[in-house]
Chains A and B, each alone.
Chain A
Amino acid sequence: MVWDTSSVFKSLRWKLQFFYSALLATVILSSGSIFYYQVWRSTFTEVDRRLETAALYLDVTLRSFPPPIQQGIEATLMPPPPLRPDGTAPPPPRPRRSKEQFLEELRLPQELNIPGINNPRDQPYFMVMTANDMLLKKEYLPQGYSEEDSLAKKFYPKPTLIMLKNNLREVRMIGPGGTKIIAGKSLEYEIVRMRYIAIQFTLVGIVFLVFGVGVSFAIASRMVRPITQMSATAELLSEKDLGKRLNINQIDSELAGLAEVLNRLFSRLDASFSRQRQFTADASHELRTPLTVIRSASELALSQPRSPEEYQETIEVSLKAAERMTNLVNGLLALARLDSSNADFHLQQINLSDLVGESVSLLGAIASEKQISLVSDLHSVQIFGNPESLSRMIDNLITNAILYNKPGGKVFITLSRSDNKAVLEIKDTGVGISEEHLPFIFERFYRVDKARSRLSGGSGLGLAICKGVIEKHNGTITVQSILGEGTTFQIQLPIWKDSN
């Protein structure tokens, strides 16, 4: 596998994972260190405290030694006992222990032993010497303890902690009569124990870290999963299958918003693609039908010798089909132009009433042929628009009003100005459009009466083109119709302002 480092650094999941792991490691390391330090400190403080106590104990004990013996140690240490008021000597002191007996019995009390240590070598030792370095008593001195090295170091009146080589901790002080008191302890046991605790801490820390990394991996995966799912779903979507949607219920709330946005996008795409597919299918059908007529009629005509009349009929049929195809292709081109950019859609200031007036006079002949009268009431309104496409749109609507009218019917064409809008109304007294068709009449290839509009050579695109033209001018077109009474189209276009 090729390990692409850049993708790892860009991966949200790995970033999350790294962040979690680093955070966890820091927490474990710092808390472990603090805890270890506390244990370490309490251990050695305890040792120091006991050693100090031991030194003071030895000091106090040596002080309690009676003067004769003290004198044996240091003659001038204690003054002679004062005489009684009656001049008699004080009663003789209690029978005393000998110096040897005292030293024999001199030892550290059990209480000063560190609990939990069985080996006496690891318990405190002590050494007591006279001021002139004569050994009085030593006990439990560790192996290889060099008395010379120890005596070479200074003694202080107060208990003083020092560290000797071989991990020896000692409290040294000057006791009564200049005696030198040493209470010490080998720290080997504590050091080994701390090392053991450190290993335990490390192992526990590693276990926690591994567990934590595992958990963070799971969490990171869980957080990244909806994103992965979304991209997988989006991946599955194609032009042919836009039906899939993201399941919002399974996604965390922050991402659910994104999922909803994506779902809406998918829906819009789906609708757009299916409109496109429908349009393509319809356009193909509309183009194939006249083509089929031409081909079939021609094949039939050529299959055997025919009379001139038959040939003429074939040519007429073919011509009609060709005209239909021409209309359709023109319509498709007009739509394509409306769909494309504004580059070839030149706008200029025009008087809409001129355009409508031209259309009315142009279509007057067709109207009177069908015994339909055009009634127009036009007020001058300046707009900013493309005259060719607007003329075609007006022609189309008036032609529809004439074609779908009743004999003797009327078409009312009014143009007025209301607020900032030019309002063009084309009202006929024709057959009307039933309510079920009304919402769809502006759709491409939608036909209210399929048979009839095909006979009249309609492409099914006229109203779609009209709507496209009006929307290109930022206008609106609405329709109202009552079956059997007539239809009214109302167009609103923004008027021309000099400030523009």
Chain B
Amino acid sequence: MRILVVEDEPDLLRTLAKALREKGYAVDEATDGSEGLSCAAISRYDAIVLDMMMPVMDGTQFLAKFRKLYKAPVLILSARDTVANRIDGLNLGADDYLTKPFSMAELFARLQALIRRSLGTRDNIITIRGVTINFGSKLVSVGRRKVELTAKEFSIIELLVLKKNRVMSRSDIYEHVYDANEDSMSNLVDVHISNIRKKLEVDIIETRRGLGYIISV
């Protein structure tokens, strides 16, 4: 899943990006609203984490422009904590609101829920042909056996499950899993897929030759 973080405080931006990457997200960083809009024009994001008070273009202006063009869910991070501030943020087209300072765990849970909802899945745990994927705890199991997946591997299977019955090309997967920070090759996707297949021992990922990969239910 690819996430854009828009935050003017450089230390916080770096920390958030690092934390999200460690959770397996591809993260792009923007230090103000206009930079955020430039990023959104280049890549498709599964969610946006947005600070409200920023120089050049603040969160309000960013949201107004972003919402006209894109549908990705937006989570507001703001130091403004009154009910009126929250309502304003949600009315502007944000999907969730988190007050600073926040717990990282809560941010991850809310982001995960936002992404699931935007892709039309309500459950946190999905089982496909004996393979159980828990989006909350990021764990995969086959029957009773736990499968140890790396963060990247999990995010690939997560993408395929959330976008089930749709063929995802290598570049789709690449775009959702790798951010501008990483220098990687698209054939790495194939390597990750084959590792997943080996670890699961149940092949739920089908290959569509020349198109990409699909999990069909």
User: Which of A's residues lie within 8 Å of B, judged by CB?
Assistant: 281, 284-286, 288-289, 291-297, 299-300, 303-304, 317, 320-321, 449-451, 454-455
Interface string of B1-42 (1 = CB under 8 A from A): 000000011111011101100100000000110000000000
- A-chain residues with CB within 8 Å of residue B102 when the two chains form the complex: 292, 295-296
The 10 A-B residue pairs with the shortest CB-CB distance, nearest first, are: A450-B55, A285-B79, A288-B79, A292-B101, A292-B100, A299-B104, A295-B101, A300-B19, A288-B100, A296-B15
CB pair B22–A303 under 8 Å, yes or no, is: yes
CB pair A450–B15 under 8 Å, yes or no, is: no
CB pair A321–B11 under 8 Å, yes or no, is: yes
User: Whole-angstrom distance between the alpha carbons of A289 and B102 in the complex?
Assistant: 11
CB pair A284–B81 under 8 Å, yes or no, is: yes
**B166 CB–A CB distance under 8 Å:** no
CB pair B100–A449 under 8 Å, yes or no, is: no
CB pair B103–A299 under 8 Å, yes or no, is: yes
Interface string of B100-143 (1 = CB under 8 A from A): 11111100000000000000000000000000000000000000
Between A and B, 29 residue pairs with Cβ closer than 8 Å are A285-B53, A285-B79, A286-B79, A288-B99, A289-B9, A289-B79, A291-B100, A292-B12, A292-B79, A292-B102, A293-B9, A294-B101, A295-B102, A296-B19, A296-B104, A297-B11, A297-B15, A299-B103, A300-B15, A300-B18, A300-B104, A317-B11, A317-B14, A317-B15, A451-B8, A451-B31, A451-B55, A451-B56, A454-B9
CB-contacts of B52-67 with A (<8 A): 53-56
User: Which of B's residues lie within 8 Å of A, judged by CB?
Assistant: 8-12, 14-16, 18-19, 22, 31-32, 53-56, 77, 79-81, 99-105
* Nearest residue, chain A, Cβ from B20: A300
CB pair B101–A450 under 8 Å, yes or no, is: no
* Nearest residue, chain A, Cβ from B82: A281
CB pair A293–B15 under 8 Å, yes or no, is: yes
- A-chain residues with CB within 8 Å of residue B14 when the two chains form the complex: 317
- B-chain residues with CB within 8 Å of residue A285 when the two chains form the complex: 53, 79-80
- For the complex formed, measure the closest distance between the CB of A317 and the CB atoms of chain B, giving whole angstroms: 5
Query: Which one of B12, B32, B54 contacts A293 once the chains associate, using CB atoms below 8 Å?
Result: B12
User: Whole-angstrom distance between the alpha carbons of A292 and B80 in the complex?
Assistant: 13
- A-chain residues with CB within 8 Å of residue B15 when the two chains form the complex: 293, 296-297, 300, 317
- A-chain residues with CB within 8 Å of residue B9 when the two chains form the complex: 289, 292-293, 454
- B-chain residues with CB within 8 Å of residue A454 when the two chains form the complex: 8-9
- For the complex formed, measure the closest distance between the CB of A221 and the CB atoms of chain B, giving whole angstroms: 40
**17 new A-B contacts at CB < 8 Å, known A292-B100, A303-B19:** A281-B80, A284-B79, A288-B79, A289-B12, A289-B100, A291-B100, A292-B102, A293-B15, A295-B102, A296-B15, A296-B19, A296-B102, A299-B19, A303-B104, A317-B15, A450-B8, A455-B10
- B-chain residues with CB within 8 Å of residue A449 when the two chains form the complex: 55
User: Whole-angstrom distance between the alpha carbons of A296 and B54 in the complex?
Assistant: 19
- A-chain residues with CB within 8 Å of residue B11 when the two chains form the complex: 293, 297, 317, 320-321
- B-chain residues with CB within 8 Å of residue A300 when the two chains form the complex: 15, 18-19, 22, 104
- B-chain residues with CB within 8 Å of residue A293 when the two chains form the complex: 9, 11-12, 15
Which of A293, A304, A317 has the largest number of chain B CB atoms within 10 A?
Answer: A293
* Nearest residue, chain B, Cβ from A455: B10
- A-chain residues with CB within 8 Å of residue B55 when the two chains form the complex: 449-451
User: Whole-angstrom distance between the alpha carbons of A320 and B56 in the complex?
Assistant: 24
User: Whole-angstrom distance between the alpha carbons of A284 and B53 in the complex?
Assistant: 12
User: Whole-angstrom distance between the alpha carbons of A333 and B22 in the complex?
Assistant: 40
